[in-house]
């Protein structure tokens, strides 16, 4: 049984009001901690609770979880193992580069305003969730990227507003490695494709288009 499942069972047995009282909260000041306990009951994984920014005059998020476990008599070792695993996951995520996919259209600027290009720049990048990479194999990640490429191409009907027809997708993984995919989701050898970026720099009231 996971720590979260253990806590949920104990909370159901004791009732939130009783746990709040044992935590030392007066009824008039218990709404916030009751909400936190309900979040814990509704969570599908302990990370959901630990990632919330809880704070009151008694506890922060982690301190509250420890107090809940103490009141519910949850074994300390279960809590310690769970927190260690959570901290390890956070360290791994922090060490990763942000993965993303650049949508390549071979765009060549003509008379388009720099501001318009900069405002639409975000449409050329597909952000990917780092957490996907924590428990997936290389093959599963490749399938995930192929699916994302196919889905995006169909959704955009092969074209990006302002940027033009989609020619390929350039994927950057959590280590910064680059892989090019065709619009069909196949890996292709294409060294000529380069990622570009449109931006506006404010410097001494001079606008510079890049």
pLDDT-based confidence at residue 89 (cuts at 50, 70, 90): very high
Annotated domain spans of the chain? 3-94, 96-209
pLDDT at 202 over 50: no
Measured in degrees and rounded to the nearest 5, phi and psi for residue 159 equal: -150, 140
pLDDT-based confidence at residue 198 (cuts at 50, 70, 90): low
The confidence score (pLDDT) of residue 206 equals 41
State the greatest distance between any 2 C-alpha atoms of the chain, in Å, as a whole number.
Answer: 69
The confidence score (pLDDT) of residue 191 equals 76
Q: Where are the alpha helices (DSSP H) in the chain?
A: 3-14, 16-22, 31-42, 46-50, 61-71, 76-95, 114-119, 138-155
CB atoms within 10 A of CB 74: 19
pLDDT in tens, 39-84: 999 999 999 999 988 988 899 999 999 999 999 999 999 999 999 9
CA 173 to the chain's CA centroid: 15
The confidence score (pLDDT) of residue 201 equals 52
pLDDT in tens, 146-185: 999 999 999 999 999 989 999 999 999 999 999 999 999 9
pLDDT at 199 over 60: no
Measured in degrees and rounded to the nearest 5, phi and psi for residue 91 equal: -65, -40
Terminal alpha carbon distance of the chain: 55
C-alpha span between 202 and 181 (Å, rounded): 35
C-alpha span between 209 and 168 (Å, rounded): 25
What letter would DSSP give residue 106? Answer: -
Q: Answer with the residue of higher pLDDT: 201 or 84.
A: 84
Average pLDDT of the chain is: 90
| Residue 126 vs residues 18, 180, 183: alpha-carbon distances, Å | 47, 14, 14
The confidence score (pLDDT) of residue 207 equals 41
C-alpha span between 65 and 70 (Å, rounded): 9
């Amino acid at each position: 049984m996971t720590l979260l499942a253990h806590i949920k069972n104990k909370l159901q047995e004791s009732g939130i009001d009783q746990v709040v009282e044992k935590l030392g909260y007066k009824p008039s000041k218990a709404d916030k901690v009751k909400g936190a306990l309900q979040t814990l009951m509704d969570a599908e994984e302990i990370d959901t609770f630990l990632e919330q920014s809880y704070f009151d005059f008694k506890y922060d998020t982690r301190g509250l979880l420890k107090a809940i476990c103490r009141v519910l008599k949850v074994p300390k070792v279960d809590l310690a193992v769970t927190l260690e695993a959570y901290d390890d996951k956070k360290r791994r995520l922090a060490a990763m580069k942000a993965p993303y996919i650049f949508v390549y259209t071979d765009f060549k600027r003509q008379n388009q305003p720099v501001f318009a290009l900069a405002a639409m720049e975000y449409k050329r990048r597909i952000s990917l969730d780092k957490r996907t990479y924590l428990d997936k194999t290389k093959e599963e990640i490749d399938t995930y990227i192929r699916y994302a490429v196919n889905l995006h191409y169909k959704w955009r009907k092969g074209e990006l507003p302002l940027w033009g027809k989609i020619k390929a997708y350039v994927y950057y993984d959590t280590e910064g490695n680059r892989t090019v995919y065709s619009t069909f989701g196949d890996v292709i050898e294409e060294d000529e494709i380069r990622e570009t970026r449109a931006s506006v720099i404010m410097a001494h009231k001079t606008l510079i288009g890049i």
